[in-house]
Amino acid sequence: MNDTMRDAAARAVLWQIVEQAAKARKDEAKAELAQLEPGDTVAGKWDGQWLGKATKTVGRTKLVVSDERALLTWLQYNQPDEIIMSINPAYLKALEDKARSVGHPIDGQGELIPGLQLVQGDPYVSVRKQPDAPFLVSQLLSGGRIQIDGIKELEG
């Protein structure tokens, strides 16, 4: 075993600790932001500089096969070419896109397709950084204002 490998192992452990602490701090902040209403956006500033923004988005909608047998039976009579030992994923994606636009899974004639549901996911918080945010964070780190257990309050 050489020193290069030991150094690499030390760096891997160090960055794992930083990663885990950062994730914990991010999760704490996102838990506070969960109070936002879907569609709300809050800009984040630190020491007068914009870091980015947090938005509470509405949950994603997705198509779910709720009864595979019913769907396969329907496909056998209506779209037999879309069965490939299982349901063609590209066809399901096309059905999902159409279902999102009209609110429920329908075929080309507007008939509901059995065995499919369009479900709405839970709202969640999305965070986006400003382009120069990494520079600001580097300044805060080098100035000792960000530590593994959190952020020091700004001195007034």
Burial (CB count within 10 angstroms: exposed 0-12, middle 13-18, buried 19+), residue 3: exposed
Alpha-carbon distance 63 to 112, whole Å?
Answer: 13
40, 59, 75, 105, 119 from 69: Cα distances, Å: 41, 28, 10, 16, 19
49 sits in which H/E element: strand 49-57
Q: For residue range 89-132, what is the model confidence (pLDDT) as tens digits?
A: 899 999 999 999 999 999 989 999 999 999 988 888 888 888 88
Give the global pTM: 0.58
Q: How far is CA 57 from CA 45, 74, 102, 124, in A?
A: 20, 35, 20, 6
Query: Could you tell me the residue ranges of all domains in the chain?
Result: 3-58+124-151, 61-120
Q: Residue 86 — very low, low, confident or very high, per pLDDT cuts 50/70/90?
A: confident
